[in-house]
Chains A and B, each alone.
Chain A
Amino acid sequence: MININQAAWDLMVAHAEKTFPNECCGAMLGNIDGDAKSVTQAVAIENSYTGAQGARYELRPEDLLEADRKARAAGLDLIGIFHSHPDCDAYFSKTDLENSCPWYSFVVLSIKGGKFDHANSFLPNAEQTDAPKEELTWPKS
C-alpha cells in the first residue's frame, strides 16, 4: 500500500489542477518499510511531451535523475510517479501501460472541470502487460 502525506498530496493536486486541461506529471519521494510506502515529498516535473498535452505526458529521464538526487540528498527514496487524467477517470490506460516501468508506484489523479475528483495507484509489471491496483490513501481519503 502507499500513503501520501498532506504536504505531498497538496502539491500533487495543485500541480494537476494548475496544468488542467493538460496532463501533469511528477515524482513522489518518501520511505519504504516492507510493503508500506510512505510519500512525504512530491516534486512537480514539467510534462516534456512535444505534442498536445491534453492526453499525453512524458518525463525527461534527466528530470527523474534530478528527483532521485534530491531524494538521496534528503535521505529519502524515489518511490513513485504521478500524473493526471484531465476530464476522465483515474485508470491506467494502454498508453500508460506501454510506457511504464515496473519499479515504481504510479498514481493517477482524475481532474474534472479543473478540480480534483479521485485517484488510484497502480503497479505495472515488467512485461508492460498488466498494472494491478495497489491500496492508496491520502488525507481525507
Chain B
Amino acid sequence: MAKVLIPTPLRQFADKNDSVELTGATVAEVLGALTTQFPALKKQIFTDEGKLRSFVNVYLNDEDIRYIKKDASPVAPGDTLSIVPSIAGGR
C-alpha cells in the first residue's frame, strides 16, 4: 500500500481524509485508485482529457515524478505520494 497525502482544500472531495492508503504498482495506478474511490477528486486533479491539470505536480516521496518516469514511475509499498500545486505570479 502507498499513502497519498490529500491537500486540505481537496479533503472535501475525499470524505475529509487527510491521507489515503491505496494499492498500485505505478503512480498512474495509485492515482487511478484514488479517483475511483473518490470520483469527485478527478476533476480537481485531471483535465477532461485525463491529463494532470497544468498547476498540479505529483511527488513520489521527495521526487517530482516528471524527473523520474512521470506517471509510469514505480511505486513501492510504504511510498508516499503528494499532490502539490505550481504557484507563481507577479504584479
Contact = CB atoms under 8 A, between A and B. Distances in A.
Interface of A: 23, 25, 32, 49, 55-59, 61-62, 64-65, 68, 71-72, 77-79, 81, 83, 85-86, 88, 93, 95-97, 99-104, 106, 126, 128
Interface in B15-48: 18, 44
A61 B57 contact: yes
Given A103-B9, A104-B9, A59 B90 contact: no
A111 B62 CA distance: 35
A119 to B, nearest CB: 14
28 contacts: A49-B90, A57-B89, A59-B86, A59-B87, A61-B59, A61-B84, A62-B59, A62-B64, A62-B84, A64-B84, A64-B85, A64-B87, A65-B62, A68-B7, A68-B82, A77-B8, A79-B9, A81-B87, A85-B91, A93-B90, A95-B89, A95-B91, A99-B55, A99-B86, A101-B55, A103-B9, A103-B85, A104-B9
Chain B interface category by residue count: 20 to 34
Q: Which among A55, A93, A100 has the greatest number of chain B C-beta atoms within 10 A?
A: A100
B86 A101 contact: yes
Contacts of B8: 32, 71, 77-79, 103
A70 B67 CA distance: 24
B52 interface: no
B45 to A, nearest CB: 10
Contact of B88 (A58, A77, A103): A58
Secondary structure dominating the interface of B: mixed
Given A78-B8, A103-B85, A55 B90 contact: yes
B14 interface: no
Nearest to A103: B9
Contacts of B1: none
Given A32-B8, A61-B86, A99-B87, 9 more contacts: A49-B90, A56-B88, A56-B90, A57-B89, A62-B59, A64-B85, A86-B91, A95-B88, A101-B87
